[in-house]
Amino acid sequence: MSGAPGRPLNGRVFITGSADGLGLAAARMLVALGHEVVVHGRSPSRAREALEAARGAGGAHTAVGAVYGDLSSVAEAIDVARQANELGPFSAVIHNAGVYLVSGRGAGDIPTVFAVNTLAPYILTCLIDTPSRLIYTSSGLHRGGDASVSDLLWEQRRWNASSAYADSKLHDVLLAYAVARRWPSIYSNAVDPGWVATRMGGRGAPGTPEEGSRTQVWLSSSPEALVSGRYFYRMHEAQAHPAARDVETQERLLAECARLSGINFPGSRM
């Protein structure tokens, strides 16, 4: 595969974790701009709520569909990809779903924070028919993540929820950069939405969900956002963890995600 990214957009965007917070704000903004949006919730009821909430903001435009699935489960993440493909193809996918200070474990004894924040975006990237643009939601806290990409399941380390979150957000940047390198015809970037007043960020956060999601919307839809392999904060390129550009580190993460999910990362895509 050669040449710069640039497949034409068809204006349909899929957003994970879009029943509230950043994901819902992004959905509403994209709908208002005239894009077709497919939303996601972790259960059928949450997916319906996401669809109605996004539709209510669109005027003449509307969200066009919803999928559901608990992204802490490998099996359900795979099914989310299947549902999404039935409603695609997409011009962009925003990997927005995430959890913060969660200490539980799911199937396979996989920590929920790793399953939702890292493994699910990997699975969806592998299985959703490739869009023109991929956006991975990270955090400024990723700079404190463990760059060794080892002990991903926290079997040797003493559990620390905030450290696990920082690790997962570093993984999201690594995944964005790995995709940009492996699939040069795709625009793949990571975003720090900042500290915003969502259920995760808390009411005391200084930013609004709309402010936090604006970069997601820009990267997923703007003809001016034709870049790849970058990390953005508030629509400006920012400095990511130095390890994010290390190819060996990227490949270790892809290999571990493939092992844990049973899904190999696909080869070159046009």
Q: Which residues are catalytic?
A: 165, 169
Q: Which residues contact 77 (CB under 8 A, 6 or more apart)?
A: 69, 71, 119, 120, 123, 124, 261
- Number of residues in the chain: 270
CA 66 from chain centre, in angstroms, equals 16
CA distances from 62 to 29, 34, 65, 188, 222 (A): 11, 8, 9, 26, 19
Give the number of other CB atoms < 10 A from CB of residue 4. 9
For the chain, first and last CA: distance in Å?
7
Structure tokens at 26: 């992004």
Torsion of CA 127, 87, 77, 232, to 10 degrees: 80
Give the number of other CB atoms < 10 A from CB of residue 146. 16
Per-residue b or e along 96-133, where b marks 16 or more CB atoms closer than 10 Å to that residue's CB: bbbbbebeebbeeebbbbbbbbbbbbbbbbbbbebbbb
Nearest to 93 by CA among 173, 26, 44, 5: 26
Q: Which residues contact 269 (CB under 8 A, 6 or more apart)?
A: 1, 130, 183, 185, 186
Structure tokens at 78: 């795979």
